[in-house]
Amino acid sequence: MRGHDTYGITAVIAVEAARRLAADGAEPGVLAPAQAYDPTSFLTFLAPHGISWTITVSDTPITRQ
């Protein structure tokens, strides 16, 4: 995710999440945002607010130490 004011966009994200929850509901229980809402749709919604996003897949394995 990239943008000029990623902290400032927090209010827009919170309001959109609440709007989607009220309009569409969600599965019961504790959910991560990506489980409660379609990630592509949600991130695309943020585009007019100066947020862009990409997904990069690497063939290099990630090793945690």
Report the distance separating Cα 58 and Cα 37, nearest Å: 25
Section 29-48 average pLDDT: 89
Q: Which amino acid is at 37?
A: Y
Structure pTM? Answer: 0.70
pLDDT digits (tens, 9 = 90+) for 2-28: 888 878 899 999 999 999 989 988 888
Q: Which run of H or E residues covers position 30? A: none
Report the distance separating Cα 51 and Cα 48, nearest Å: 7
Whose tokens are 């943020």? That residue is: 46
